[in-house]
Structure 1
Amino acid sequence: MIKITTSENKKVYFASDQHLGAPTAEASFPREKKFVAWLDTIKKDADAIFILGDLFDFWFEYKTVVPKGFVRVLGKLAEIKDAGIPIYFFVGNHDLWMHDYFEKELNIPVYHAPQEFLINNKKFLIGHGDGLGPGDKGYKRMKKVFTFPLFKWMFRWLHPDIGVRLGQYMSVKNKMISGDEDAKFLGEENEWLVQYCKKKLTEKHYDYFVFGHRHLPLEIKLQKNSMYINLGDWIQYYTYGAFSENTFNLLKNE
């Protein structure tokens, strides 16, 4: 378990689901600039930054090639990391083919599953959130195919001009991949991430569960001292999380 203790007047920030590149590079460019401006603002008082997946709407790492674009956000992340601020990146369902580019080029650790963190002595379970809980069966089957080593090997043999274009098309068009066709609150009994968190609480106590993927800002009290938080997105809501001392706030970037 990674331990983080914030300094006085410092915070830990969380953001998810920017989906840069969707529906087109040109259309998402203003959102990229807005996200980069936010990163530039929070670096003044950030002790750590968590990016919880789907930063890109499509991402695939060939051995020597990555999708072009996203220079501003990659440059800002490199600047912040080089300044000594830890950044933790969690792979989402749109960038699940991320391998070691962030680790080698930016020195940013990449996680493919939820991880436990102890922040100011509060226990956090943090991840993107795709494929967790009792539902999402169609996506779970699709994820098994997409992460199967033979499938990735075969896709890598496509020329990048073909592979990236195909991946971008599928990512924008396929709602099963996007996971945002029902971005409205379904009630606690139908929110599969809520059910996942409640089941985890039967095994171990967590003060905070922090996820993305749902594209919907949510704060749900699970028990007296346990909260489920969904960070929303940077497409419609522009919301993010900020944890300081012992308080978590879900905020909107105006």
Structure 2
Amino acid sequence: MTISPNKKIYFASDQHLGAPTPELSFPREQKFVAWLDDVKKDADTIFLLGDLFDFWFEYKTVVPKGFVRVLGKLAELRDSGIPIYFFVGNHDLWMNDYFEKELNIPVYHDNKEFTFNNKTFLIGHGDGKGPGDKGYKRMKKVFTYPFSKWLFRWLHPDLGVKLAQYLSVKNKLISGEADVKFLGEENEWLVQYAKRKLETKHYNYLIFGHRHLPMVIKVGENAEYINLGDWIGYFTYGVFDGENFELKKY
């Protein structure tokens, strides 16, 4: 695909809207909506790389209450003709077809390749990738197993959503207790994952979220691993102008 003249591609991840409470999350939602309103002026495409919500589950006729401002803004941008792609994260992995049917936004549950202006991209949320974190990988299989989702769906939404939100807020990344520091290339699982992917196919940019640390690391010849950071403490996003990629702060 070719980017239109004077247009850009934008990337954002890990807003965790709804955490630690809807009231405390509201200013961050307002800020993210303001960012969407700003980038629509020259956005060719927008990529959202998961954990937009701190919890999301789609019952057959019910979705979690709230988030009307961000959902309305996404609908506005899609209706104006701006393509938006959504990759589920580990907090909103139970997303099905609501975004596709209501907002006309494709939803991906794993990495996907794109090419813009002859630059190749590998894009995804990043959870469960690379070596290590075997406990989470096993748990993710349980969470995504159809029978597990079927069981959860039988809980009344008032109970199911409340329980899930309680467990989600226990996440130390949200509470601020986590020691989120750069571990060095040899210990950053997504860096190692990016290098392994490059052994079989070349990408100019391997872009992920999940880690909550904004970083750009050279992982090969004309190849960069990018983590988009988050909208909890960093408020960072990525932008590709057709030739170069840059991390920026809003």
TM-score bin, normalised by smaller chain: over 0.9
Q: 1-side partners of 2:173 and 2:229: how far apart?
A: 18
* Offset from partner CA, 1:34-73 (integer Å, 9 cap, x none): 0000000000000000000000000000000000000000
Match of 1:210? 207
Match of 1:142? 139
Match of 2:67? 70
- Structure 1 runs of 4+ aligned residues shifted over 4 Å read 174-178
2:72 aligned with 1:81? no
Change beyond 3 A, Cα 1:176–1:148 = farther
Candidates 7, 17, 33, aligned match of 1:36: 33
Counterpart residue type for residue 89 of structure 2: G
Counterpart residue type for residue 8 of structure 1: P
Q: CA RMSD in A?
A: 1.4
Match of 2:19? 22
2:121 aligned with 1:124? yes
Q: 2-side partners of 1:59 and 1:89: how far apart?
A: 13
Q: Residues 94 and 177 of structure 1 are in contact (CA less than 8 Å); yes or no, is this contact kept in structure 2?
A: no
Give percent identity, aligned residues only. Answer: 77
Q: Residues 13 and 240 of structure 1 are in contact (CA less than 8 Å); yes or no, is this contact kept in structure 2?
A: yes
Q: 1-side partners of 2:174 and 2:115: how far apart?
A: 31
**Structure 1 position 245, deviation (Å):** 1.8
**Structure 1 position 5, deviation (Å):** 1.4
Counterpart residue type for residue 133 of structure 1: G
Change beyond 3 A, Cα 1:142–1:175 = farther
Match of 1:94? 91
Candidates 147, 154, 172, aligned match of 1:157: 154
Q: Residues 139 and 177 of structure 1 are in contact (CA less than 8 Å); yes or no, is this contact kept in structure 2?
A: no
1:202-241, aligned counterparts within 5 Å?
202-241=199-238
Q: Residues 54 and 92 of structure 2 are in contact (CA less than 8 Å); yes or no, is this contact kept in structure 1?
A: yes
Structure 1 stretch 182-191 or stretch 124-133: which is displaced more?
182-191
Q: Residues 12 and 47 of structure 2 are in contact (CA less than 8 Å); yes or no, is this contact kept in structure 1?
A: yes
Q: 1-side partners of 2:26 and 2:119: how far apart?
A: 36
Match of 1:201? 198
Q: 2-side partners of 1:235 and 1:173: how far apart?
A: 15
Q: Residues 48 and 84 of structure 2 are in contact (CA less than 8 Å); yes or no, is this contact kept in structure 1?
A: yes
Candidates 3, 8, 13, aligned match of 2:5: 8
Q: Residues 123 and 207 of structure 2 are in contact (CA less than 8 Å); yes or no, is this contact kept in structure 1?
A: yes
Q: 2-side partners of 1:113 and 1:104: how far apart?
A: 19
* Offset from partner CA, 1:136-179 (integer Å, 9 cap, x none): 2111111011111111100000000000000101111145999x
**Structure 1 position 182, deviation (Å):** 4.2
Q: Residues 125 and 210 of structure 1 are in contact (CA less than 8 Å); yes or no, is this contact kept in structure 2?
A: yes
Unaligned runs of 5+ in 2: none
* Offset from partner CA, 1:197-219 (integer Å, 9 cap, x none): 10000000000000000000010
Candidates 227, 247, 250, aligned match of 1:250: 247
